[in-house]
């Protein structure tokens, strides 16, 4: 997906009559990003076989059950309050404009906590630990989150399954590889179906939905169309902004420390309605740091993205919950290059919900003292 976005960026950068200096600047940012990405190097060729201990599996399963309750309750409340965006006449518009009057919390729950939930569920499902019960929870939560009109609701699960398949410490047995490939194919098929459903609902016809779906891929680099013509004007509008303001503004807004800043994508688009293209890393580099320092920013960002991914592939932890968190970071790492501010608020949002759930799960394990070998929080709840 990221390579596809860069291809679209390059096509729009070199296919339209921008100045040669802007083109060379773009090339420099991209080269330095990939240079930083390559500095981390390859992961170890052979990883130790990973076997999760019972305590961590119990804590992860109970944490996922708690997150399932939170996400389901939040989305049911959203549906009862304003209706589900997918069922509206314009899902893509409603999924942005519907979150008012405190409902923004539901949107945040459907981002960071949902990312961790998908990662933890895929870890348990593909590992074969209580897979049916966890699969039911995953389908329930994903179905409700999908009603919010997001075309990429299946992407976290798809990426998580793909990353697990590529992990040398996990993909040792043929049965594991077969499960990972099967779920990867199913999630991909469902993901394309959901995306087509959203675009068809937006366009009012199946042919229009398919055309719009393809167009979204072709215009994955559409930020160039909006940023380059207004580059100087956008810089003047953001004279009071800093990179830290962009990076942590949404976090401070989520914590009610300050008001939410206008989304950078909306500033680039020149709109106040919350819509806008993704401010990719080369836009961030140009806007906040300039041509020279922007090169080093791209280099560092590429290294951090690679480090988050390689750190997952090199993990040999026996803690299932920590492994799921590392998987979530690896899955969302490239969001740093697509929209760094969104990555930060997703990670912080996940921590705000996952850490209390883990503490509760840990205390539950201690209080039970001797947990039966086949005890499962989810199955116990269902019974």
Q: What angle do CA 268, 271, 275 make, to 5 degrees?
A: 80
232's CB contacts (< 8 A; 6+ apart) are none
- The per-residue pLDDT of the chain, averaged, comes to 83
Of 47-51, 168-172, 246-250, 294-298, the range with the highest mean pLDDT is: 294-298
Distance from C-alpha of 122 to C-alpha of 110, rounded to nearest angstrom: 17
Q: Could you read off the pLDDT of 223-234 as tens digits, one per residue?
A: 899 999 888 888
Helix-strand-coil split of the chain, %, nearest 5: 75, 0, 25
Terminal Cα-to-Cα distance of the chain (whole angstroms): 41
At 186-211, the pLDDT tens digits run: 888 888 888 887 778 777 777 887 88
Quick check: 12 pLDDT over 60?
Answer: yes
Distant-in-sequence contacts of 10-19, Cβ < 8 A, 24+ apart: 10/221, 11/221, 12/221, 12/222, 12/224, 12/225, 13/221, 13/224, 16/224, 16/225, 16/228, 18/228
Using pLDDT thresholds of 50, 70 and 90, give the confidence band for residue 133: confident
Note the pTM of the prediction, 2 decimals.
0.87
C-alpha 70/C-alpha 270 separation (Å) is 35
pLDDT at 369: 61
Domains: count for the chain: 1
For residue range 353-379, list pLDDT tens digits in order: 999 999 998 888 888 766 666 666 666
Window from 18-22, 95-99, 174-178, 307-311 with minimum mean pLDDT: 95-99
Percent of the chain's residues with pLDDT above 70: 86
What is the span of the domain harbouring residue 170?
2-382
Q: Is the pLDDT of residue 33 over 90?
A: yes
Instruction: Express each pLDDT in 104-124 by its tens digit.
Output: 778 888 889 999 999 999 888
Name the pLDDT band for 171 (thresholds 50, 70, 90).
Answer: low
What pLDDT does residue 205 have?
79
- Angstrom distance (rounded) from CA 153 to CA 159: 11
Residue 10 or residue 55, greater confidence: 10
pLDDT (mean) for 49-67: 85
Distances (CA, A) of 33 to 29, 127, 246, 281: 6, 34, 20, 9
pLDDT of the residue at 273: 65
């Amino acid at each position: 997906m990221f390579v596809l976005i860069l291809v679209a960026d390059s096509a729009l950068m070199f296919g339209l009559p921008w100045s040669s200096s802007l083109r060379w600047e773009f090339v420099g940012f991209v080269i330095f990003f990939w240079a930083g990405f390559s500095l981390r190097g390859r992961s170890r060729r052979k990883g130790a076989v990973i076997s999760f201990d019972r305590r961590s599996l119990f804590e992860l399963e109970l944490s996922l059950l708690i997150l399932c309750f939170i996400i389901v309750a939040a989305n049911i409340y959203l549906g009862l309050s304003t209706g589900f965006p997918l069922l509206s006449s314009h899902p893509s518009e409603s999924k942005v404009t519907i979150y008012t009057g405190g409902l923004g919390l539901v949107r945040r729950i459907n981002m960071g906590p949902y990312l961790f939930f998908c990662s933890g569920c895929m870890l348990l499902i593909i590992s074969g630990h209580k897979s049916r019960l966890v699969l039911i929870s995953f389908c329930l939560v994903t179905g409700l989150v999908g009603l919010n009109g997001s075309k990429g609701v299946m992407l976290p699960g798809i990426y998580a399954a793909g990353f697990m398949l590529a992990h040398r410490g996990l993909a040792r047995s043929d049965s594991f590889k077969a499960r990972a490939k099967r779920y990867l194919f199913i999630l991909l098929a469902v993901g394309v179906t959901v995306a087509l459903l959203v675009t068809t609902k937006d366009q009012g016809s199946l042919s229009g939905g398919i055309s719009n779906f393809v167009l979204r891929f072709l215009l994955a680099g559409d930020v160039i169309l909006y940023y380059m013509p207004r580059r100087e004007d956008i810089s003047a509008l953001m004279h009071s902004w800093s990179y830290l303001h962009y990076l942590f503004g949404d976090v401070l807004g989520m914590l009610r420390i300050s008001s939410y800043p206008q989304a950078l994508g909306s500033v680039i688009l020149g709109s106040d309605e919350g819509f806008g293209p993704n401010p990719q890393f080369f836009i961030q580099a140009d806007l906040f740091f300039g041509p020279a320092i922007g090169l080093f920013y791209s280099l560092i960002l590429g290294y951090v993205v690679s480090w988050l991914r390689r750190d997952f592939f090199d993990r040999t932890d026996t803690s299932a919950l920590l492994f799921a968190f590392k998987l979530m970071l690896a899955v969302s790492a490239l969001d740093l290059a697509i929209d760094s501010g969104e990555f930060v608020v997703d990670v912080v949002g996940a921590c705000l919900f996952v850490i209390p759930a883990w503490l509760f799960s840990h205390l539950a394990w201690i209080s039970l003292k001797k947990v039966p070998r086949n005890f499962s929080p989810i199955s116990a709840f269902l019974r």
